[in-house]
Amino acid sequence: MLRSALTALLLAAPYVHATALTSMLGANEKSCYYADVDGVGEKVGFYFAVQSGGTFDVDYTVMDPDDRVLLTGKNERQGDYIFTANKIGEYSFCFENEGSSADKLLDFDIMVESEPRRQLSAQQPALKEHTSTLEESTYKLSGLLSSVIRTQKYFHTRHHRNYSTVLSTQSRIFWFTVLESAMIIAMSLIQIWVLRTFFSKGSKRYSA
């Protein structure tokens, strides 16, 4: 009976197909990605985060198969959205980096989830009880796992942003040091030239 309950629970589990990508978005560039939805009412999850580049922001637009805008945002650093697909077809997820001179590293997920209906015989009350208990436990574990995944994504994004900030700071310090050294050398050469010119003129006046 337990095996039958587990089998029914697996059949009742939602079918999910997802795409996790990391992409470099160039300056003044627009990039679009697509996901197919096979049934009305399916859940579509969309997550993105700018890992590095510029001020860590990007413009995004999500459209349905009829090119109707579902989600849009300007200068967003990250986002996590779930919506219900009301039409069958290809949904587009576009990122824009127009007006920026910096390349940006994007990390994003596109998830499409369908939930097939479980069919159980009315003559199996015990099986229904076992299935309901296991189903509730599975949903709780799924919620906890989603929370852990979101926390991991948050720390992953913070790590990349902090690392990018450290690299940018190191680069600025290096070039500031080079400029400072060049100015010191230039000032030293100018002082030497001024002293040589002064003594050269003084010796000429004395000899005359």
Q: Convert the pLDDT of each residue in 47-76 to its tens digit.
A: 898 888 888 889 999 999 999 999 999 989
Query: Does 116 have pLDDT greater than 90?
Result: no
The helix (run of H) or strand (run of E) holding residue 134 is: helix 125-207
Give the model's confidence band at 6: pLDDT under 50 very low, under 70 low, under 90 confident, else very high. very low
Q: Which residue has the tokens 């590293």?
A: 105
- Residue 119: DSSP 8-state: -
Buried residues in 179-204 as b, exposed as e (16+ CB within 10 A): eeeeeeeeeeeeeeeeeeeeeeeeee
* pLDDT higher at 112 or 12: 112
- Closest to 94 (Cα-Cα) out of 52, 37, 35: 35
Write the DSSP symbol of residue 153.
Answer: H
- What's the rounded Cα separation, in Å, for the pair 109 and 97? 18
* Tokens describing residue 182: 């060049």
Cβ atoms of 112 and 18 within 8 Å: the answer is yes
pLDDT value of residue 70 = 93
- Within 10 A of 47 (CB to CB), how many other CB atoms are there? 19
Element (H, E) at 193: helix 125-207
Distance between CA atoms of 107 and 53, rounded to whole angstroms? 12
Supply angle C-alpha 103, 148, 104, rounded to 5: 0
Tell me the whole-structure pTM to 2 decimals: 0.58
Going through the chain in order, the beta strands assigned E by DSSP cover 15-25, 30-37, 43-52, 58-63, 69-76, 78-84, 89-96, 104-114
Give the tens place of pLDDT for each residue, 186-207: 999 998 888 888 777 666 555 5
CB 48 within 8 A of CB 79: yes
User: What CATH number matches the domain at 2-161, 2.60.120.680, 3.40.630.40, 3.40.50.300, 2.60.120.10?
Assistant: 2.60.120.680
Reduced to 3 states (helix: H, G, I; strand: E, B; else coil), residue 172 is helix
